[in-house]
Chains A and B, each alone.
Chain A
Amino acid sequence: MEILQQLFFYLVALVSVISGFLVIRCKNPINSAISLVMTFFCLAMFYVMLHAPFMAAIQLMVYAGAIMVLIIFVIMLLNLGSEVVGRYRHAVTGAFIASGLMFFQILILIKKGDVSTVPGAINAEVVETVGHTELIGKALFTDFLLPFEIASILLLVAIVGAVVLAKRDV
């Protein structure tokens, strides 16, 4: 079973890395967006493998189901050509160097850290018995109530802002 799980992980990881690469390499913005959806799908699979089904479903619903549809909607309406790409060559090189440096930094930090060996209060058995949704709900409404409420006020402000912007001329 362990070997099967590992093989599956490597398969999904391969697909997610390839589609992540395609997001930045595709000439056409719609193809990039579709690759990004594929990356989100692979991320959702990682959540499932990490015993976090609620996160997986929310990841698909919010990112793949809502945000990416809006992005594709905008791209389709703007009808962007592929000629925009050529102008940003130097920026691509800069970003490549920066992300390479960041990658090594993260590798070193992971090697130095000791988080991976410390078991937390919530593990696979607890998720199996209590349920992932229940655990997240309880945590959100007890320990993390203040951040949760702040986030909701932030969203409310964003909604009010959108309405004000849209209604300015009326």
Chain B
Amino acid sequence: MPEMLSLSNDPILFVTVMLAKILAVFIVVILIVAYATYAERKIIGRMQTRLGPTMTGPLGLLQPIADGLKLFFKEDIIPAQASKFAFVLAPMMILVPAFITIAVVPFGGNVVVGGYTVPLQIADLNVGILYILAMAGLGVYGIVLAGWASNNKYSLLGGVRSAAQMISYELAAGLSIISVFMLSETLSLRGIVEAQAGGITDWYIFSQPLAFCLFVITSLAEVNRTPFDLPEAETELVSGFCTEYSSMKYALFFMAEYANMVVISAVTATLFLGGPAGPFPGAINLLLKIFFFMFVFIWIRATFPRVKYNQLMYMGWKIFLPLALLNIVITGAVVVF
């Protein structure tokens, strides 16, 4: 294997390759986000014996673009009583953590470019998993700020609910990942993928089924998807924290929700399903796994009713947290003995 490409041995090539990787990942995520809205409407439509969008382009395929254009040309309203700075800042604060989390997800092995080894991953952080958890923690500010800055009772309730929900479920999500890196003995996502490289039986979904279930459910709660979409429960809170938002700012909230779905699908695939491992070339395997999880999330939305708030808190603190702790104890015992 040739030398690793870095800033010291070929600065120009390094910067070019880096920019190319960032651009490629960004475009792919944006495309998935755009067509996830289409897929969601189509799949839920079919599950409810409707057709979903059909009019815009063949099979309604141009619907996301039409929606985007429509939102772009809508009037941008900022309520007179709103706290302006926080109101404008909130959509950005929710979108940015969603997008930068994807930087640590590896989408392939190493390739050789211009005589140097280049890893197919934007940044291989030594503390990859902790970085993901930290960014998930920052994501809550967008929702809380949006709820508070709108100066609207429904928005405020949405923001408060979201803060409580995120704090409760972050703990269980973090604890369920701990058992994974007890097995892999590294926090780097690349290291975790390498630890699962020995074929399908090495995937952590088989050695850590409980952690897998806990992580999927708690991360569903962290990105506010049905059945945990209490911050924007439309039957009781109009649309929760984004009630007062319009135009592109509203679109940013929507994009953030789908970007978060892509991110947790990618992270789950990396932690439990071997990441880019599989029968096809690296990135395609990862994309297939992401699509699978996205489909499951949409399916869950079409199937389950929203949980009640007391049920949500009860599940988070009295079921998921003890189960995650139990899983850590069992894993620890297995690793030691």
Binding site for B on A (CB under 8 A): 1, 28, 30-31, 34, 37, 41, 44, 53-54, 56-58, 60-61, 64-66, 69-70, 72-73, 76-77, 131-133
Contacts and interface: CB of A to CB of B under 8 A. Distances in A.
Nearest to A55: B127
A60 B137 contact: yes
Chief secondary structure at chain B's binding surface:
helix
Interface of B: 7-8, 83, 85-86, 89, 125-127, 130-131, 133-138, 140-141, 144-145, 147-148, 156, 159-160, 163-164, 166-167, 170, 174, 187
A76 B160 CA distance: 8
Given A34-B145, A76-B159, A133 B167 contact: no
B137 A57 contact: no
B170 A133 contact: no
A133 B144 contact: no
Contact of A54 (B130, B136, B160): B130
List the 5 shortest-distance A-B pairs measured between CB atoms, nearest first: A65-B137, A57-B130, A60-B134, A57-B127, A53-B127
A28 B159 CA distance: 18
Contacts of A56: 127
Nearest to B130: A57
B299 to A, nearest CB: 30
A131 B181 CA distance: 15
B137 A77 contact: no
B163 A72 contact: yes
Contacts of A69: 137, 140-141, 144, 163, 166-167
Contacts of B125: 53
B86 A30 contact: yes
A31 B127 CA distance: 30
Nearest to B164: A73
A131 B160 CA distance: 38
Contacts of B145: 30, 34
A65 B134 contact: yes
Given A31-B86, A34-B86, A57-B131, A65 B170 contact: yes
Contacts of B187: 133
